[in-house]
Structure 1
Amino acid sequence: MIAAALITFALTAVVSWSAGSRAGAAGTIVSALTWTGNAAGAAIMAWAGARALAGRVETVTLPMQVTGGLPGGAAHLQVDRISGLFAVIAFGIAVPVLAAAAAAGDRARGRLPSAAALLLAAVELILTSAHFFVFLFGWELLTFAFYLLAGFDRDLPGRSRASLVTVVFGKSSGAALLLGGLLLAAHTHTLDIAGWHAAAGSGVAALAFALLLVGFGAKVGLIPGEVWLPEGYPAAPGPVRALMAGVAVNVGFYGMWRTLAVLGAPPTWLVCAVLVIAGATAVLGIAQAASAPTLTGLIAWSSVENAGLITAGYGAALVGAAAHDVRLTALGLTAATVQVCSHALGKSLVFVATSAVEQTYQTVVLDRLGGVTRRLPWAGWGLIVGSFTLAGLPLTAGFAAEWLTLESLIQQFRITSLATQLCVAATAALVALTIGVAGLTFVRVVALTAMGPTRMDQPTPQPVPARIDRRPAYRIGIVLLVVGCLGLAAAAPLEIRAIAAGLRPLVGGAPLGALAGPWVLQPVFSGFSALSPTWLWVVLPALTVVIGLGAVALSRGRLLRVRRVAPWSSASPGVHRGVGYTSSAYVNPIRRVLSTVLLTRVTIRRLPPGRGDEDAAPRFDVRVRVVEVVERYLYRPAIAVVLRAAGTARRMQSGRLDAYMAYMLVALLAVLTLVIVVS
């Protein structure tokens, strides 16, 4: 099945690239076939992952003609329980996303399926690689696929910069992984990833653990590697963004899980660093999302927030590993994995829905969007359910995920290290703040963009022939993702059982302790607290019906009568309806509350009166700007230093042979001196 999926992705890439952008019926047929090929390969890998969760591990040894004689022994691809768990998550969600992408496909982007196939093949290689060089090859292939997708519409503004930023951070993450892997390979004398277990507990393992987490963290968007997500995701075309944000990003979390499985418990300083970075990333991500002016920017920054939440659960697992408490490790990994599932579903759904909004209105500016559900009911309701999931509201998969994450972070009384206790407590406070702000952030999307009134300055929907929200494939993709977001909450105990099967190599059967009953969850430690997302699906609708019937009965039917009154215009005289209360106005209090994180800057400029308006009320131009603190205070000074160093190096390039010989002599003497000192 591993080989079949790889061959399917390879054939799809070749056919799509060879066909190019064909016109007419031939182009439509090729597009449908290539997207179907990608979906078939994803379905094969999802099924292989499900078999691995059931204990049917599959291994494929790569032939010498393919590997070219890699050092460190024969290379093989394997789907075990851990990789099978992430294969089910990533490729299971990829199938409905690819269905929606097939509906959105157009002849001008005829080669887009080949870039998607490249991305899916890279994800498969990363999840199944047992040899470090094959893993790195898959990682670099994924970076290349991200580069192609971010710059696919290279004629549009900002795409060149987005693809450049994406590839820079992708190569940086690969460099960190290379350094960490080579340290372990030099210490254990093997490139077999499973063989690195022999280095566990050593100083080399601690340093390598940190380097590997830096590499994986840059891919998922942890500070300080979060800068590329808000630029790379929105730059990709249509639903393919969901492949990047909801499918491919999971390989970074898989790498974290695999690192813990191979190297064991990390040192305390690294555990504290992971916890602090996770909390800071979550707060920064949701603060930027709350103030983002565009829908795609808001969703992309939400990915940064969710990366922080997932890593917070992973940090709790590291705390348990360092304290040799397998139940705490199981709780942290279970919470983080449930959060991975909810994020992948919710993020894929909102990006798929946004693709229809962008195609129809030709804009993603939040202040210009309103009443999407009336124009695009399928995309609008997908946007609502996805937003509720990412906000962690009840009856969605995100609710149990955030509850488990918070439960894992309030177990600090079970450990004895004071430093670790303080870091866990601080991360718990930051995560709680993040969850609260996330609710306000996505209310902005649901109440003002999806279900709000149509704005007077809203662009007229474009007469796009066969809009994607009308196509069956798109609707199937939306329905499957909505069912996943809602059904995973109703079937949360079944989800826990599947996750427990995948985490068995790490913590044995400890995750099953999260099942307090057939339909009740608990944070592994019995008697601490309990929650039943399944029963919420019964109780909350029943209470809604009872309250509604009671209100109608007590009002003697008057509640159902229609009373027509003049609409309220934000209590502002002279403000036309539809423009008085904008998305930016709604989020302004949040910008002020989080001004220490956003460094909010407000500029007010009085506009000159127009001709004949000298006696009218003065008009003002108010502009609000937020600052991305990591980019402003870390990367910009670093880039300035690099540019100055490059200028100095350029002046050293005199073109004189004697000067170059002198440089070589100085370098040789320095190397000899270093060798003598070390020996």
Structure 2
Amino acid sequence: MIAVGLALTAAAVLIGWCAGMGGTDRAQLRLGLTAWGLNVAAASVFVIAGARGLSGHTGRLELGGLAGLGPASMSVDALSGLFLIVSFGVAVPVLAAAAASANRNRPRLSAAVGAALAAVAVIITTDNFFVLLFGWETLTIAFYLLAGYDRGLPGRMEASVITVVFGKASGAAVLLGALLLAGRTHTFVFTASAVDPRSVAGQTAYALLLLGFGIKVGLVPAHIWMPRGYAAAPGPARAVMAGVAVNVGFYGMWRTLNALGPPPVWLACVVLVVGGATAILGIAHAAVNADLAALISWSSVENAGLITAGYGVALMGASAGEPGLIAAGLVAGTAQMMAHALGKTLLFVSASTIEQATGTTDLDRLGGVARRLPWAGTGLVVGSLTLAGLPLTAGFASEWLTLESLMQQFRVSSLALQLSTAAAGALIALTVGIAAVTFVRVVALTAFGPVRIGEPPLDPGLARPDRQWPYRFGVGVLVAGCLGIGAFAPMQVRVIGAGLLPLVGNNAAGANAKPWVLQPVYAEFSALSPSWLWIVLPAMAAVIAGFSAMFAGRNPFRTRRVVPWSSASPGVDRGVGYTSFGYANPVRTVLSTVLLTRSELVDAADGPAGRTAVPRTYRVDVVDVVERYFYRPLAQALLFVSRSAKLLQSGRLDAYMTYMLIAVLAVLAVVIATA
């Protein structure tokens, strides 16, 4: 099955590349649609392979020896099967929707997407670090091509360069960690318990591997590539990058815990705190961003923090020797990853069509878009509710499990672990609250908001995907996934438990207290039934609607319309109601320490003579605190080193030979000293 899937992606890459070599528009479109169809078929094959692996039918593709780097093969066990199902399960509807928007302007996009899919499959199924790094570098190149595909647009080349730089950094960290392990085991094959994780070499390898995988998922401080890279990529590619490809980073984290075992206490503490900090920073910027694509991209940073917080609980449990905590953290993290994959791909697929039809992603210029583009609008609403973690969606149970797992810190005796978990729990709780505010803004003021003056009209030709069956199939499947997992969350947890068998055994089964009831693995701590909420909440809504109709008179849906409040300030344009910018202003104020909010009220210089009411403009600016205080000084230091290094370039051969001799002597001295 693995070989068939890789062959299909290879064919998609070849045909998609040929689509951009010229010919008639009809021929290009036909080749592009064929390539997208092959990508859909490949993703379907990988889903089937994952399901077989999850059920115990392990497939294996032998690659032979790798010139002294150990035997290599590609296989599907329970864990890799689970990740194949999650990653390629959302890829199928995404690729179907992308095929509906295929056009001659982006003929080779399907080829770059096919390369990314092949790399994801290789990373998830290989058992050899060298093959994993080959897939990792392929994915980095694919990300570079996707982020810079529309290179004629502003900011695309910069985004692609930043994306590839961080991709190379993540690959370097994984390579160094793998070399440290190979130096002790004399093979690149994943070997459980081959190195003591509490030794210096083991701790260093553990930290390097988690660093490399953390860069790929966008953890602080390596998050700055993600908002730029996602927003720069073409619409269909964003969904593949955010909902499919990013999961390889989480797979690497899960597999590292499986291979190396309990981490040192300090590393578990770092992962917990970094997860919480990433979540709050990501949602803070998403909450105040006025661009739909950038908002969703920053939300990906937030979700990476949520998932990593659950993984941090698992590391805490492994370090403390508590199998129940390992299961609680991994179940929560995996459930959150599934909710993120569904919600994020649905949002990006919907935003892609909205951007294509209107020519903008400015939230204040997209009022009432759900009424104009019903299928894209439905995806925008359901995806937003899922990522907000509201009841009846997949995000509700996953966020509840994450918060409950973070409340188990009393089960460990280490004060450092207790404090780190408490800090992460507080940050995650704040993040969950702000996420609800963030996506209410998208639903209420964008999807169903008022149509404002100056909004761009729909282009009937460019809005065509919203009326095509492949796009409607893709959106429908993703919407059904977001709502269906919310209704059948206990079944989801059972599937997750089967995938986590190599890591936690049967301990994950404790998350199901009884039919249709969930608990954070430990019995009698707390319980929740997301399935029953599908009965209780609609019933309560029906009762409230009945009472409202009974006592509200003839028209219970009558709306009282008044002039919007403008804080009694003269010269302020009232508009037609709240704007997304205005709605986000409290978040800018409350989180001014995180966002470094700077605001000013500017009087218009050309106001009408003789008027007391002078038109005013309110300007607000927020910045990424990590970029300003970490990367900018780092960039200046690197530029200084680069300029200093140029002084060594004298052009004299004897000087260069002297430098080489000094370097060789230094290496020999280090080798002799450490022998």
- TM-score tier (shorter): over 0.9
- Structure 1 partner of 2:420: 423
- How far apart, in 1, do the equivalents of 2:503 and 2:584 lie? 43
1:336-351 pair list within 5 angstroms: 336-351=333-348
Q: Which amino acid aligns with 1:462?
A: D
Quick check: 1:568 aligned with 2:569?
no
- How far apart, in 2, do the equivalents of 1:671 and 1:338 lie? 48
Quick check: 1:450 aligned with 2:447?
yes
Contact map agreement 1:130 1:194 (CA 8 A) in 2: no
Contact map agreement 2:572 2:616 (CA 8 A) in 1: no
1:7-46 pair list within 5 angstroms: 7-20=7-20, 22-46=23-47
Helix, strand or coil at the partner of 1:90 = helix
- Structure 2 partner of 1:553: 550
Quick check: 1:280 aligned with 2:254?
no
1:219 equivalent among 181, 192, 216: 216
- Structure 2 partner of 1:62: 63
Helix, strand or coil at the partner of 2:647 = helix
1:649 equivalent among 645, 648, 670: 645
- How far apart, in 1, do the equivalents of 2:374 and 2:562 lie? 24
Q: 1:676 to 1:28 in 2, by over 3 A?
A: closer
Helix, strand or coil at the partner of 2:211 = helix
- Structure 2 partner of 1:637: 633
Q: 1:558 to 1:227 in 2, by over 3 A?
A: same
Q: Cα offset for 1:574?
A: 7.5
Q: Which amino acid aligns with 2:322?
A: D
Q: Which amino acid aligns with 1:29?
A: R
1:232 equivalent among 222, 229, 234: 229
- How far apart, in 1, do the equivalents of 2:464 and 2:94 lie? 17
1:519-534 pair list within 5 angstroms: 519-534=516-531
Q: 1:464-518: CA deviations, max 9, x gaps? A: 3562111111111111000000000111111111101100011101111111111
- Structure 2 partner of 1:505: 502
Q: Which amino acid aligns with 2:377?
A: G
Q: Which amino acid aligns with 1:670?
A: A
1:620 equivalent among 616, 632, 641: 616
Helix, strand or coil at the partner of 2:458 = coil
Helix, strand or coil at the partner of 1:570 = coil
Q: Which amino acid aligns with 1:306?
A: N
Contact map agreement 2:450 2:576 (CA 8 A) in 1: no
- How far apart, in 2, do the equivalents of 1:142 and 1:92 lie? 19
Q: Cα offset for 1:351?
A: 0.4
Quick check: 1:163 aligned with 2:160?
yes
Q: Cα offset for 1:606?
A: 2.6
Contact map agreement 2:548 2:556 (CA 8 A) in 1: no
Q: Which amino acid aligns with 2:183?
A: A
Q: 1:15-68: CA deviations, max 9, x gaps? A: 11112265443333222221111011000001110111111111110257xxxx
- How far apart, in 2, do the equivalents of 1:120 and 1:374 lie? 34
Q: 1:113-136: CA deviations, max 9, x gaps? A: 111100000000000011111000
Q: Cα offset for 1:206?
A: 1.4
Q: Percent identity?
A: 57
- How far apart, in 2, do the equivalents of 1:201 and 1:669 lie? 33
- Structure 2 partner of 1:402: 399
1:567-586 pair list within 5 angstroms: 567-570=562-565, 578-586=575-583
Q: Which amino acid aligns with 1:638?
A: L
Q: Which amino acid aligns with 2:281?
A: L
Helix, strand or coil at the partner of 1:265 = coil
Q: 1:213-234: CA deviations, max 9, x gaps? A: 0000000010111000110001
- How far apart, in 2, do the equivalents of 1:297 and 1:146 lie? 17
Across the two proteins, how many residue pairs are aligned to each other?
672
- Which range is displaced more, 189-198 or 509-518? 189-198
Q: Cα offset for 1:105?
A: 1.2
- How far apart, in 1, do the equivalents of 2:313 and 2:385 lie? 25
- How far apart, in 1, do the equivalents of 2:274 and 2:557 lie? 54
Helix, strand or coil at the partner of 1:141 = helix
Helix, strand or coil at the partner of 2:105 = helix
Q: 1:142 to 1:506 in 2, by over 3 A?
A: same
Quick check: 1:494 aligned with 2:495?
no
Q: Which amino acid aligns with 2:563?
A: W
1:122-521 pair list within 5 angstroms: 122-194=119-191, 197-465=194-462, 467-521=464-518
- Structure 2 partner of 1:6: 6
Q: Which amino acid aligns with 2:529?
A: S
- How far apart, in 1, do the equivalents of 2:200 and 2:652 lie? 46
Q: Which amino acid aligns with 2:35?
A: T
- How far apart, in 2, do the equivalents of 1:479 and 1:637 lie? 47
1:536 equivalent among 527, 533, 537: 533
Q: Cα offset for 1:676?
A: 4.4
Helix, strand or coil at the partner of 2:60 = strand
Contact map agreement 2:197 2:206 (CA 8 A) in 1: no
Q: 1:216 to 1:463 in 2, by over 3 A?
A: same
- How far apart, in 2, do the equivalents of 1:53 and 1:427 lie? 32
Contact map agreement 2:29 2:104 (CA 8 A) in 1: yes
Q: Cα offset for 1:665?
A: 3.7
Q: 1:239-267: CA deviations, max 9, x gaps? A: 22000000100000000000000000000
Q: 1:112-163: CA deviations, max 9, x gaps? A: 1111100000000000011111000000000000000000111111100010
CA RMSD, aligned part only?
1.7
- How far apart, in 1, do the equivalents of 2:654 and 2:83 lie? 58
Contact map agreement 1:201 1:263 (CA 8 A) in 2: no
- Structure 1 partner of 2:659: 663
- Which range is displaced more, 390-399 or 18-27? 18-27
Q: 1:550 to 1:605 in 2, by over 3 A?
A: closer
Contact map agreement 1:34 1:113 (CA 8 A) in 2: yes
- How far apart, in 1, do the equivalents of 2:50 and 2:408 lie? 32
Contact map agreement 1:388 1:442 (CA 8 A) in 2: yes
- How far apart, in 2, do the equivalents of 1:570 and 1:460 lie? 28
Q: Cα offset for 1:672?
A: 4.1
Q: Cα offset for 1:359?
A: 0.7
Helix, strand or coil at the partner of 1:31 = helix
Q: Which amino acid aligns with 2:642?
A: A
Q: Which amino acid aligns with 1:91?
A: F
Q: 1:111 to 1:655 in 2, by over 3 A?
A: same
Q: Cα offset for 1:211?
A: 0.4
- How far apart, in 2, do the equivalents of 1:561 and 1:466 lie? 32
- Structure 2 partner of 1:674: 670
Contact map agreement 2:29 2:107 (CA 8 A) in 1: no
Q: Which amino acid aligns with 2:43?
A: A
Q: Cα offset for 1:621?
A: 2.9
Q: Cα offset for 1:617?
A: 2.5
Q: Cα offset for 1:460?
A: 2.1
- Which range is displaced more, 572-581 or 196-205? 572-581
- How far apart, in 2, do the equivalents of 1:63 and 1:184 lie? 21
Q: Which amino acid aligns with 2:388?
A: A
Helix, strand or coil at the partner of 2:71 = coil
Q: Which amino acid aligns with 2:564?
A: S
1:74-93 pair list within 5 angstroms: 74-93=71-90
